[in-house]
Amino acid sequence: MDTNKYIPTVEAIEKASGVLEEILEPTPFQKNQNLSDIYGADVYLKREDLQMVRSYKIRGAYNKIRSIAPESMQNGIVCASAGNHAQGVAFSCSKLQIMGSIFMPVTTPKQKIEQVRMFGREYIEIILTGDTFDAANSAAIKYAKENDKTFIPPFDDPKVMEGQGTIGREILNQCKEKLDYIFVPIGGGGLASGLGSYIRQMSPETKIIGVEPGGAPCMKEAIKAGKVIKLEQIDKFVDGAAVQEAGALTYQVCKEVLDDIVVVPEGAVCTTIIQMYNKSAIVVEPAGALSSAALRFYADEIKGKNVVCVVSGSNNDIVRMEDIKERSLLYEGLKHYFVVSFPQRAGALHNFVTNVLGPHDDITYFEYKKKTNREKGPVLIGIELQNPDDFAALTERMHEHSIDYQYLNANPTLFEFLIG
């Protein structure tokens, strides 16, 4: 197939929708009052987090597997995934009673691995290999070739893209208003290319905005470079979208159908995860929060508009919530770490607490480090503020009281060494 010309067609996506009717109902399309109030817009959520496998990936996986010749299907299939595609493939294997080998990075959250086992039951085996999706993907492709099995790509495949494109079809069927903006997360680009193709053909006036995590903007960089490139390093925190290299097909489609790509810092994603839970009782994984997190960077453009955010998944491990909270506080300027050298005399700490801390400042971390001399003792202190504007006053009081300190937030190397 000529990758320069392929675009998922309306007809192909309509056909995929018919295939998916065998196993799926349309997911809810809901107005979110909290986001609407914040941005002065009508913000709707396409709730792919409410799929049976808690992500949209079932669409592309099942559509691809159902397109395989029966004899090839019975020989077994192989896939690679950071979790959500794996769950879609696992469910499909169980539903169709075929064997599947699923390769996952060793960094995949335990919760996602257990979910894959639950959906696939006795029809799948899980192979943990590599630190990134790309490493697991390479191993899976090699294994499929060596064992004459069919590889099910997570995103760079026409049938997968067409399956994901059915979300766009559902959105246009469910939305009763003129649709001004759609925000869609990007990992490898399967969702953005499939959905984007359908919307571009059926609602050409709608702006389609792709959203990538700051630590893995593979599609943004590919479009900037004019070709697919492999990122040297990625931040794997937004694991559902932490992809080093966009697909060849998805790149060609995304550069044609997307109006823009917003790159969202991981800290902003964490803030959105917390806000969606606290304000709307919605549990999302980091990748599932990307589209809603992007709204703060498009606040002026979307004011007074009809906006859709695709909530792509909710496979979040509860043990990550402490890390998510910490990242959010750091990004929002509410958490600050210092190494303070206290004089070795009575009353030094009392002076700090009484005269330096503000009335709403909390010490949330306190650890004495090894003393280097008799006169001073270094202490690692974490301080949480009620308002980011309080930081300037805090450091001003430190100077007024001659506090000897190092500010760690501004020193990434030292921060990583001491805080982790």
Give catalytic residue positions.
57, 312
Strand partners, 230: 245
Tokens of 222: 């590919």
* Residue of 397, 388, 408, 249 lying closest to 328 (CA atoms): 388
What whole-number distance in Å separates Cα of residue 286 and Cα of residue 312? Answer: 10
- Phi, psi torsion values for 313, nearest 5 degrees: -175, 165
What whole-number distance in Å separates Cα of residue 338 and Cα of residue 391? Answer: 12
- Phi, psi torsion values for 355, nearest 5 degrees: -105, -20
Could you tell me how many residues make up the chain? 420
Which uninterrupted H or E stretch holds 413?
Answer: helix 412-418
What whole-number distance in Å separates Cα of residue 247 and Cα of residue 226? Answer: 13
- Degrees (nearest 5) of the Cα angle 100, 103, 106? 145
CB 205 within 8 A of CB 181: no
Q: Which residues of 339-369 are buried (b: 16+ CB within 10 A; e: fewer)?
A: bbbbeeeeebeeebeeebeeeebeeeeeeee
| Count of C-beta atoms within a 10 Å radius of residue 208 | 23
